A and B are shown apart, each in its own frame.
Chain A
């Protein structure tokens, strides 16, 4: 039951990284990186120095926010909402097969690589870049926005869902397999129930996320409130711009409240 008593009764916490060379190497590397990165980045300090008075002017011009052109604001938001709803629906539906494909514990290697590739490609590009390309291809308007955000949703939801599937309790899968369940039965009975709350949570999160993203794809002409905001900024109409920002924040607050409520109900 007892081992030989250690001669010295001292104890130190085992270091987080066992190899001292690696430990100090990482530290030195970090400092070197910081010096290099800050040194190599071009900072225009003169221009930055003017920042404070400019900030004062911008915020001074922006307050109080002006809701005079609320009809423009309303139209923009309606379109953003439509883009977000359609893109979320399409994206969440399409993300399920890709997530299953991209889960290493369920899919065979070739399928896994394919699923992973689709997710990586759709995640690699920021929606704004995708939006520029879609605008160039299919023209200005909400169609480009829907296409952009659908791709965006597949990437984001697909990736997190795949990770969730990889972390499921494997015992349940074994139980269904032991009962003679095939691939589809296993998915429906052992995998989806475990990730469903997460998927609903992710969908709600993605709706949030798409609403927010739909505000920016408009900056490059893909429809929604973003175009309105960009115009306001472009015309130095900060009062209207801040009004739009305030409404965006309010909308996100509401949507976050709803999504939080739904997630609480499901968990």
Chain B
């Protein structure tokens, strides 16, 4: 269970990006966080694993406080928080297997990491997960040889290798074509129930959020202004979240449309 209480993030003396956010996510539930660009979605996610330092507030994962952790304790906590990125954030020049095993970096010793001598059970788990998402035959391919959807699967497997207690996904489909992004959303949805993980997904595409998640949280200017099931997410909620903010129309329509090509250079 993930509990966020009164989370505030302010860069320098600017207007806070997050203004006292409260959110509780039960295990085994998929939550979509929607909002316009700059609403604070990405910042919120990064506050949870402390890639961004929260200004104040409390974030508790299964009862233990994350905001006060430092050094090795923080790294131990991060092991339990998997993250999937918009740009996949793979290490292009390493093989798929090395990228996947990188999810174990928080567990193995530096020597094991550098020499790639990972424990047998890690390798076993890596193969099992890669088979689950259909990329096992790419194990020794370089990560940059894969297509966008395959790369994001590597990203998902890497996060799952951490044996996470919560999975964060920051715009996981924004760099993918519509069909592939549907597949990735389906994958995240089914993994959440298989592994009974809470999954938080930042997403631009409201149609996908409604289709693949069971709860939608709407952010605007760092405040939560909607929290409910997809069925309740109507025109009024849409207007409240995106109204007056310039956003491409296609993001709001029913047919999902992401960026046409998922290939990153």
**Residues on A close to B: CB < 8 A?**
1-3, 5-6, 9-14
Contact = CB atoms under 8 A, between A and B. Distances in A.
Interface residues of B, number: 16
B140 interface: yes
A9 B131 contact: no
Contact of B131 (A2, A12, A14): A2
Contact of A9 (B95, B123, B134, B137): B123
B98 interface: yes
29 contacts: A1-B134, A2-B131, A2-B134, A2-B136, A3-B131, A3-B136, A3-B137, A5-B127, A5-B131, A6-B127, A9-B120, A9-B123, A9-B124, A9-B127, A10-B120, A10-B123, A11-B97, A11-B118, A11-B123, A11-B126, A11-B127, A11-B139, A12-B116, A13-B95, A13-B97, A13-B98, A13-B116, A14-B95, A14-B140
Interface of A is mostly: loop
Which A-B residue pairs are the 4 nearest by beta carbons?
Answer: A1-B134, A13-B116, A9-B124, A3-B137
Contacts of A9: 120, 123-124, 127
B92 to A, nearest CB: 16
Nearest to A169: B265
Given A2-B131, A10-B123, 13 more contacts: A1-B134, A2-B134, A3-B131, A3-B136, A3-B137, A9-B127, A10-B120, A11-B118, A11-B123, A11-B139, A13-B95, A13-B98, A14-B140
Instruction: Name, among A3, A5, A6, A11, the residue most crowded by chain B CB atoms within 10 Å (CB to CB).
Output: A11
A263 to B, nearest CB: 22
Contacts of A12: 116
B79 to A, nearest CB: 21
B127 to A, nearest CB: 5
A248 to B, nearest CB: 39
Contacts of B123: 9-11
Interface string B91-132: 000010110000000000000000010101001101100010
Contacts of A14: 95, 140
Contacts of A3: 131, 136-137
A222 B123 CA distance: 65
